[in-house]
Structure 1
Amino acid sequence: MAYRVAIVGATGAVGRELLKILAERKFPVSEVIALASPRSVGQQVSFGDDQVLKIRNLETYDFTGTDIALFSPGAAISAIHAPRAAEQGCVVIDNTSQFRMEPGVPLVVPEVNPQALARFRKRNIIANPNCSTIQLVVALKPLHDLAKVKRVVVSTYQSVSGAGKEGMDELFNQTKGSFVHDMPTVEQFTKPIAFNVIPHIDKFVEDGATKEEWKMSVETRKILDPDIQLIATCVRVPVFIGHAEAVHVEFENPITVAQATAALKKAPGISVFDKREDAGYITPVDAAGDDEVFISRLRRDPTVPHGLAFWCVADNLRKGAALNAVQIAEELHAQGLLKKPAG
């Protein structure tokens, strides 16, 4: 059984990663259609080792007969075209923030809540969580099952690729310019990002948090448990690929470092690398290009009755976006939730 799959936003960083991962994981496709805005029509993108796809116009594309659409074009574009695709019978897996908190739209990380996919037919849309949320809930799930997570305090160190190709270009240009005494041009971020850190991702909301921080809180509750309390501080750092998180967790029940380590090592999608020595931990450079969520620096938090702290790293373009979307498609296929392929 093979499917017609559309990649929406195929010229972007996540869109290209979607094409790469679809080919790498040999998802059963009969045809892949690359879609983007009218200005990108005619450009070419690669699929696998030997296929080149020409970009087609998203605005005029008829999704009838397309089985699955993986969307990553930006929230405003998804708001227009994802419902249209869904109404035309195509299953939409959306990487943007547009539908994540809407009732009737499952918010899914396959290692954490694959059972939520059973509800997708109400809208024919499945939402991919925020990149920083995905790696966090993958790490929290086995610990929550073991001792029930009560409260999370997390600080993120998020790479510029989370802001797309433009963010990566800005870091590159500012870094290069600093060596020839060029004044940095600030366009994608609120302050210079080269040799700096910026405690501001997305817009501010009423309580003083940023929307990125709000997303981590509400998405974790929707995916994992509505009773979890979470506060986040989200920081942009001068790293090209890979998000890192310093996580402090308070549990309802007793839990030891040994118990947590054993549970994490058994959990899908997690790699524990924690040697308690120089370089005995994973950094974003180490994680780039890998599919796992890496856990290091696991230790007891003595400031609360049942507390642990750990360091969590993942490739935000892969597990934080494209890989998770492809895994959702794989899970739909494995659960028999997809209709017989069109055509």
Structure 2
Amino acid sequence: MGYKVVVVGATGNVGREMLNILAERAFPVDEIAALASRRSLGTEVSFGDRTLKTQDLDAFDFTGWDMALFAIGSDATKTYAPKAAAAGCVVIDNSSLYRYDPDVPLVVPEVNPDAVEGYAKKNIIANPNCSTAQMVVALKPLHDRAKIKRVVVSTYQATSGAGKEGVDELWDQTKSIYNPTDEVKPSKFQKQIAFNVIPHIDVFMEDGSTKEEWKMVVETKKIVDPSIKVTATCVRVPVFVGHSESINIEFEEFLDEDEARDILREAPGIMVIDKREDGGYVTPIECVGDFATFISRIRQDSTIENGLNIWCVSDNLRKGAALNAVQIAETLGNRVLKKA
């Protein structure tokens, strides 16, 4: 016997990817519903070799459904997630709405799978920010070995992290560079994104950090260890899919780069591609469509005591969003619901 699963926001980039990954990973589905707003009612979406027509989120009754994977943003989630949870359907939410709620577990299954068991307080589990998810997959096995004191991370985040509008703006501006009569002014982003980088994701906070940077700090502490100090600089780059991160780690005890490489090779969810030669590393275009978080450029940092540098790349629509949500569903099923 399998599960009755709902995908909320099925016509968006992340919702479509959730359906793809559920099918790819052969998640045990007895029945599936694809929900969207009324304006998208009847839109067709793919689920493996099946085609589903979207149903109206407003009119949907979540009673009797096991899990709902939400990908509709915080405002809409605030309205619909409590309804689903109250009907007995476990919500796995991709928005930021519940990530910092102490009664809602924030889960990356390779890192803190036991946390799913805390879902019952609100019948909701939160999916972390895309930039955090891939980083903590890399940090956790190293932390278990040598205890991390401090992390300095700079991100290089793809435009798809801002949704379809972000991808379209990069595409349209890139074309306009070669056709100057067809100027495309910034709309989704604060400045031109084509052939540029923008050190600004989400809103600015009082201390000068952006909210994206704040998210990485708070979420890493909640998922891995509250004692870890984190400082982040988050940058939007002209890439369609795939977030990259340069991560500097300071440990409490010495960890040799060769041992770190071996640890990461054995860690769940990680693929190490680290050759000290031209092209012996992974770039964002190479990670697209893959489940793994890729680690390259593993090397000692001699400027601090017990320091290490790594380069981390992952498909932000997968591990940063849809894949992690499906993995949470798998973990919930295996550890708690146990129907399949």
Task: Tell me the TM-score normalized by structure 2.
Answer: 0.98
Distance 1:274 1:340, change over 3 A: closer
Aligned CA-pair RMSD: 0.9
The separation in 2 between residues aligned to 1:275 and 1:84, in whole angstroms, is 50
Unaligned runs of 5+ in 1: none
Letter of the 1:168 counterpart: V
Cα distance in 2 for residues equivalent to 1:162 and 1:245: 14
What residue number does 1:171 align with? 170
- Separation in structure 1 between the aligned mates of residue 314 and residue 327 of structure 2, nearest angstrom: 16
**Offset at 1:183?**
2.0
Secondary structure of residue in 1 paired with 2:101:
coil
Are 1:205 and 2:171 counterparts? no
State how far apart, in whole Å, the 2-side matches of 1:198 and 1:282 are.
Answer: 22
Match of 1:78 in 2: 77
Q: How does 1:40-189 map to 2 (within 5 A)?
A: 40-49=40-49, 51-181=50-180, 182-189=182-189
CA distance in 2: counterparts of 1:207 and 1:32, whole angstroms: 45
Counterpart code for 1:309: N
**Structure 2 CA distance for aligned equivalents of residues 338 and 75 of structure 1:** 26
Which residue in the other structure is 2:222 paired with? 222
**Corresponding letter in the other structure for 2:251:** F
Specify the alignment match of 1:247 in structure 2. 247
Task: State how many pairs are aligned.
Answer: 339
Q: Which runs of 4+ in 1 moved over 6 A?
A: none
- SS of match in other structure, 1:216: helix
Q: Secondary structure at 2:110's aligned position in 1?
A: coil
For residues 117 and 53 of structure 2, what CA distance do their matches in structure 1 show?
34
> Do structure 1's residue 301 and structure 2's residue 301 form an aligned pair?
yes
Match in the other structure for 1:281: 281
The Cα shift of 1:334 comes to 1.3
CA distance in 2, matches of 1:48, 1:263: 35
Question: Any idea what SS the aligned residue of 1:192 has?
Answer: coil
Which whole-Å CA distance do the structure 2 matches of 1:60 and 1:205 have between them? Answer: 38
Shift of 1:193: 0.5
Give the corresponding residue for 1:256: 256
Matched to 2:75, the amino acid is A
Greater CA drift, 235-244 or 74-83: 74-83
Q: Say whether the 8 Å CA contact 2:104–2:126 is kept in structure 1.
A: yes
- Between the aligned partners of 1:84 and 1:150, the Cα distance in structure 2 is 41
State the alpha-carbon separation in 2 of the partners of residues 275 and 340 from structure 1: 44
Matched position secondary structure for 2:337 = coil
Name the aligned partner's letter for residue 230 of structure 2. Answer: L
Q: 1:229-252: per-residue Cα shift (whole Å, max 9, x none)?
A: 000000000000000000000001
Give, in angstroms, the shift of residue 267 of structure 1.
0.3
Q: 2: distance between equivalents of 1:123 and 1:32?
A: 23
**8 Å contact kept, 2:2–2:339:** no
1:54–1:194: structure 2 CA closer, same or farther, 3 Å change rule?
same
TM-score (norm 1): 0.98
Distance 1:103 1:251 in 2: 27
Structure 2 gap ranges (5+)? none
**What SS does the aligned partner of 1:59 have?**
coil
In structure 2, give the amino acid aligned to 1:147.
A
How far did residue 340 of structure 1 move? Answer: 5.1
| TM superposition shift of 1:97 | 0.4
CA contact (8 A) 2:333 2:339 kept: no
1:317 aligned partner: 317
Opposite residue 232 of structure 2, the aligned amino acid is: A
The Cα of 1:43 is off from its aligned counterpart by 1.0
What's the CA shift for 1:339?
Answer: 6.8
Q: What letter is aligned with 1:61?
A: F
Q: CA deviation at 1:185?
A: 2.1
| 1:270 aligned partner, one-letter code | I
Per-residue CA deviation, residues 49-93 of structure 1 (Å, 9 max, x unaligned), is: 2x1111111112110011100000011111111111001000100
Q: Secondary structure at the match of 2:42?
A: coil
Residue aligning to 2:10:
10
Moved more, 255-264 or 178-187: 178-187
Cα distance, 1:238–1:221 mapped onto 2, change above 3 Å = same
Equivalent position SS for 2:187: coil
Partners of 2:72 and 2:232 lie apart in 1 by 26
Deviation at 1:17, TM superposition (A): 0.1
**Hey, what does 1:265 align to over in structure 2?**
265
> Shift in Å at residue 184 of structure 1?
2.3
State the one-letter code of the partner of 2:276. R
CA distance in 2, matches of 1:65, 1:176: 48
Question: Could you tell me which amino acid in structure 2 is paired with residue 35 of structure 1?
Answer: L
